[in-house]
Amino acid sequence: MDEATYALIGSAYAEVEAKEPWCRSTSSVADIAVLSLEAAREACPDTQEKNERTNLADAGAVRILTEGHYLYDIVDVDADLSRYKVLILPDEVSVWSKLRDAINIFTANGGKVLATGCSGLNAAGDTFMLEMGLEWKGTNPYQPSYFHPDFSPGFLLPASFVMYGEGQLVELNGGHSLGRRENPYFNRDVFTFSSHLHTPSAGEDNGPGMIESQNGIYIAWNVFGDYADNGHLILKEMVIHALSRLLPRPSLSCDLPAQGIATLQYQAQENRYINHLLYASPVLKGRVEVIEDIVPLQDVDVSLRLPASATIKRVYMAPSMEELPYKTDEYGEIKYTVPYLENHQMVVLELV
């Protein structure tokens, strides 16, 4: 037995043991369901590809939603969608009749859909199966192309942003545009060469690139897979803007840095919610990401929107049991400030 190894294990699990009473028998609280591309491919009855194709979309969705501090679950096609407010179909989710019917029931009951890229097409890739306020015309022959938003994308300045991945040609059919698609002057190849990585945009409106309708929002590029591949900031800002419209009052919001993680769990047996806050800044060393330095944070602001039936008895940090002041506004939103966070902090909201 290696004594140094077991000393390290003992130290780590001593902290876990102290926190375990607030982690047993909990259920996730989530606003958003992400239909896993991997699960959708496996369930689709009309395709033979299954898991043969590369899947970066699931990883990209996890990154964007985690960095945006959204509450989400990764689900398969058999999930109960009525638990969620928004359903995300990342990049290449084929839709067949059974899945279309489930999505239609979801939207009829007030749920919203965020679909990107080829999601919404049938397995053959020739028919758009969802009512998203658009008419699908085919795949854009220009790659890369550009997106010029009609909104301010976070802290980015107004511009035509390059979309490196494959795009779709769509027209409005009941929806309205949130930004236009622009094509480059030409595709960069041997005979039409640009010395840069991509040919500049011609600056012309070539149709919508992001469409909002009664049932949700469609983005005409594979934004999730591209974000996993190259981390282009505009891709995340497009998704965050879409979610700000589809989910204007999320169950949780906080001012953690992008690399922070916020989750909310419900412990039914104890009748309490547990808000987990984590922050660490990993460093890539070779092929491995290493957390070498724990950077403490101070005064992290959190807002929660719990069910109307939830009446707060007290709020405290665990396992220190330090009472935490909080206030509730006229909309029932609970606000508190976590005074310190060193890697991980739990805030417990006991109910009456």
pLDDT band at 48 (very low <50, low <70, confident <90, very high): low
Confidence (pTM): 0.94
Location of structure tokens 């080829």 = 118
Per-residue pLDDT tens over the stretch 175-222? 999 999 999 998 877 677 776 777 889 999 999 999 999 999 999 999
Q: How is the chain split into domains, by residue range? A: 27-246, 251-351
pLDDT score of 49 more than 80: no
Which pLDDT belongs to residue 46?
79
Helix pair angle (57-67, 233-246), 10° resolution? 70
Residue with the bigger pLDDT between 51 and 83: it is 83
Measured on CA atoms in the order 126, 129, 130, 134, is the torsion positive or negative? positive
Which pLDDT belongs to residue 96?
97
Location of structure tokens 């989530």 = 30
Is 287 within 8 Å of 243 (Cβ atoms)? no
CATH class of 251-351: mainly beta
Ramachandran region of residue 105, left (φ > 0), alpha (ψ -120 to 50) or beta?
Answer: alpha
Which pLDDT belongs to residue 145?
96
Q: In whole angstroms, what is the distance from residue 280 CA to residue 175 CA?
A: 41
**Domain covering 27-246 in this structure, CATH number:** 3.40.50.880
pLDDT score of 50 more than 60: no
pLDDT-above-90 percentage for the chain: 88
What is the mean predicted confidence (pLDDT) over 334-347? Answer: 97
> E strand or H helix at 19, and its extent?
helix 3-19
CA distances from 321 to 19, 35, 234, 324 (A): 11, 38, 41, 9
Which pLDDT belongs to residue 52?
64
Location of structure tokens 């983005």 = 219
DSSP code for 201: B
Is 32 within 8 Å of 73 (Cβ atoms)? yes
Point out which residues pair with 64 in neighbouring strands.
none
Which pLDDT belongs to residue 39?
96
Is 161 within 8 Å of 146 (Cβ atoms)? yes
pLDDT band at 349 (very low <50, low <70, confident <90, very high): very high
What is the mean predicted confidence (pLDDT) over 99-124? Answer: 97
What is the mean predicted confidence (pLDDT) over 319-330? Answer: 94
